[in-house]
Amino acid sequence: MSSQKSSLQKPHPPVIRLEQFLKLANVVSTGGQAKILIQGGEVKLNGVTETRRKKQLSPGDVIEVQGLVLEVGLE
């Protein structure tokens, strides 16, 4: 009998940082612009003002910025 342990780990969902998301969503064209918006308190994450540009987002999170409402998806 083998004494191998099988590790059943849940796969981690893909993660993206807030500043990266804003660039990919074409809200801003540079990281510097993302930094200004985020640290200026102009971005909301799930209804709460978010000032951390490296905040990790998860699928289903909702971002509000410049009159846009964007949902983080898996694609």
- Which domain does 62 fall in, by range? 16-71
In a domain, 32, yes or no: yes
In a domain, 5, yes or no: no
In a domain, 40, yes or no: yes
Task: Tell me the backbone φ, ψ of residue 44, rounded to 5 degrees.
Answer: -115, 140
pLDDT at 3 over 70: no
Number of structural domains (the chain) is 1
Residues 63 and 70 sit within 8 Å (Cβ to Cβ): yes
Model pTM?
0.79
In a domain, 41, yes or no: yes
Q: The CATH number of the domain where 20 resides is what?
A: 3.10.290.10
In a domain, 8, yes or no: no
pLDDT digits (tens, 9 = 90+) for 28-64: 999 999 999 999 999 999 999 999 999 999 999 999 9
